[in-house]
Structure 1
Amino acid sequence: MKKILGIVAIITIATTALTYAQSKTDVALNQALTAYYEVKNALAADKKDLAIEKVKVFSAKVNAVNHKDLPADQHKIFMEQAGIIKSKAAQLAGSNDIKTQRKAFEGISYAMIKTLKGLKFNSKTVYIQHCPMAKASWLNEKENIENPYYGSMMFNCGDVSETIKSN
C-alpha cells in the first residue's frame, strides 16, 4: 500500500511540475502573441516607426519563452519557427520602408501561425485572416479584418480563414 501511494505521489508531483512548466511557457507565448498583435496593429495603421518599436518588443518576448520545458515535438516546432521570427523581425526593424516591413511581417505571420497551431497555447480565440490581394495571412485578436499588408489603402480587405478557440 505504501508503495502504491509513493508511486501515485511521484506521478502527481511530476504531472504538476510539467503542467506548471507548460503553463509558464504558455504565459510567455501569449505575451509574445500580444506583442505580435501590436506589430500587426502598427502596420495596419500605416505606422512604420511604431512597427519598428513594436517588433523589437515582440522579438524580446519570443526570446523570453522558456522553450526547454516543451515536449520534444513542440520544442522542434518552436525552435524552427522562432528562428524565422527572429530573422524576419530583424529585417522589419532594420527597414524604414513600409513595403519591406510588411513583407518581413508576412514571414513572421506564417511562423506565428505554425507555432500557434503546433503548440496550441492561445488563452483567447485567435482569428487567422487572409488577404487575397497580398496572398498572405496573419493572426488577429479580433474577428474584424485589420489588414496589415495594405493598411489604410485596403484596411478591411480579407476574410477569416480559420478560428482557433482558446485552450
Structure 2
Amino acid sequence: MKKIFLMVAIIAIFSTKFSFAQTKSHEALNQVLSTYYDLKNALATDKNDSVAEKARVFITKIEAVPHQDLPETQHKVWIEQSTLIKAKAKELTVAKNIATQRKAFEGISNPMIKLVKTINFNSDIVYIQHCPMAKASWLNEKESIENPYYGKMMFECGSVTETLKAN
C-alpha cells in the first residue's frame, strides 16, 4: 500500500511540475503574441515612429520565453522561428521608413504564424489574415481586417484565411 501511495505521489509531483512549466511557457508566449499585435497595430495605423520601441519590447519578450520547458519538437520549432523573428525585429529597430518596417514585419509574421500553429499557446482566438496585394499574411487579435502592410492607404484590404481557437 505504501508503494502505491508513493508512486501516486511521484506521478502527481512530476505531472504538476510539467504542467506548471508548460503554463509558464504559454504565459510568456502569449506576451510575445501581445507585443506582436502592438507592432501590427502600429504599422496598420501608420505610426512608424513608435515601431522601433515596440520592436525592442518584442525582442525582450521573445528572449524571456522559458523555451527549455517546451516539448522537444515544439522546442526545435521555437529555436528555428525565434531566430528568424529576432533578426527581423532587430531590423525594425533601425529601419528609417515605414516601407522597410513593413517588409521586416512580413519576415516576423510568417514565423509567428508557424509558432502559433505548432505550439498552440494562444489563450484567445487568433485570426490569420492575408492581403492579396502585399502577398503577405499576419496574425490579428480581431476578426476585422487591419492591414499592417498598407496601413491607412488600404486599411481593410485582406481577408481571414484561418481562425485558430484559444488553447
TM-score range with shorter-chain normalisation? over 0.9
TM-score where L is the length of structure 2: 0.98
Alignment of 1:7-26 (within 5 A): 7-26=7-26
Q: Distance in 2 between matches of 1:11 and 1:49?
A: 52
Deviations 1:54-79 (A, max 9, x none): 11111110110000111110100101
Name the SS of the counterpart of 2:129 in structure 1: strand
TM-score by length of 1: 0.98
User: Where does structure 1 lack aligned partners over 5 or more consecutive residues?
Assistant: none
Residue in structure 2 matched with residue 105 of structure 1 by the alignment: 105
Residue 150 (structure 1) aligns with: 150
In structure 2, give the amino acid aligned to 1:154.
Answer: M
Give, as a single letter, the amino acid of the residue that structure 2 aligns with 1:150: Y
**Secondary structure in 2 aligned to 1:130?**
strand
| Number of matched pairs | 167
Runs of 4 or more off by more than 3 Å in structure 1? none
Residues in 2 aligned to 1:103 and 1:145: alpha-carbon distance in whole angstroms: 18
- Give 3-state SS (helix, strand or coil) of 2:166's partner: coil
Match of 1:76 in 2: 76
3-state SS, counterpart of residue 74 of structure 1: helix
Question: Secondary structure, in 3 states, of the residue corresponding to 1:53?
Answer: helix
Gaps of 5+ in 2: none
Q: What is the aligned partner in structure 2 of residue 48 from structure 1?
A: 48
Please say if 1:160 is aligned against 2:123.
no
**Root-mean-square deviation (Å):** 0.6
Cα offsets for 1:86-118 (capped at 9, x unmatched): 000011111111111101100100111011111
The share of aligned pairs that are identical, in percent, is 61
Distance in 2 between residues matched to 1:135 and 1:4, nearest whole Å? 59
Q: Distance in 1 between matches of 2:47 and 2:34?
A: 18
